[in-house]
Amino acid sequence: MPKSSRYPFAGGTAVITGAAGGIGSALASQLAIRGSHLALVDKNEFGLAQLRDEIGSHAPHARITTHHLDLSQSDAAERLRTEVIDAHQNPTLIINNAGVALGGMFEQVSMADVDWLLSINLRGTLAVTSAFLPHLQQGAHITNVSSLFGLVAPVGNATYAASKFAVRGFSIALREELKPRGISVTSVHPGGVRTSIALSSRRGPGVSDEQWAWGQAEASRLLTRDPQAAAASILKAIYRRRPRVLIGPEAYAGDVLARLAPARATAVIGGLIRWRAGGQAPPVR
């Protein structure tokens, strides 16, 4: 694909997972303004309907379909492909944004919890990509939302970081594999964006009430960046077909740490999180 190539939003169809809130809904709204049609995917059926009506009121030209699916179900991606192709024919943009979090140190969570998180954060991303790849034409684009924790891995986020590191690796390899087909790939690494992912995270069975309360309070303090601003940065990267986008100073700092001091990155990021928390360390068991 020529370096001068840009992704044309107008007239294309974007499939967005995790669309009912946060970055997903912000992306949907901004894509509609740019002339894209939308296939919105989430397990929150009410949130999808609200978003469809809201976007339809200010972007009546957009063809919007909603797809009430739980990506933790093994057949969800195949069902989504059938629904989207029937309604829109071939999509031009796939945004794998759906994600969940799991509270607790690795020894405090169960393997059932781990399987649930990986089924959405990692397998969901792979399955949706696999389902739509045969239908993507030259000029299409795939965007996979990783995380700051796909660059560095702070204590207490072992399973989440594992999923997001994997999404980053998948995106890097996929980008090279799809170059001959003229399909581009962007990986996204948001820092503290104001979404519900932490506040709606699953609690590991070994996490105490005190630890859970501390984690929820920290999420409220740390996740403050406007999802609309994050979405604008992502769409700018998609338009320019950049291989990745870092969102927020903490993502840039994490990227530098991972490159220059990988052995110290976890400790430094943990210290920064405690500093943002007013110096208060997380409670111990």
Helices (H) and strands (E) in the chain, counts: 10, 9
CA distance 225 to 91: 30
The maximal CA–CA distance of the chain, rounded, in angstroms, is 55
Q: Which of 164, 94, 85, 101 is nearest to 127 (CA)?
A: 94
Q: Are 204 and 108 in contact (CB under 8 A)?
A: yes
> Which of the residues 7, 160, 239, 252 is marked catalytic?
160
**β strands within 22-162, DSSP E:** 37-42, 64-68, 93-96, 102-103, 141-145
CA distance 92 to 168: 21
Which residues 6+ apart lie within 8 Å of 265 measured at CB?
152, 153, 254, 257, 258
Active site residue 160: yes
Q: Are 109 and 102 in contact (CB under 8 A)?
A: yes
Sign for the pseudo-dihedral over CA of 43, 47, 49, 51: negative
Sign for the pseudo-dihedral over CA of 153, 155, 158, 164: negative
Residue type, 108: Q
The residues annotated as belonging to the active site are 160
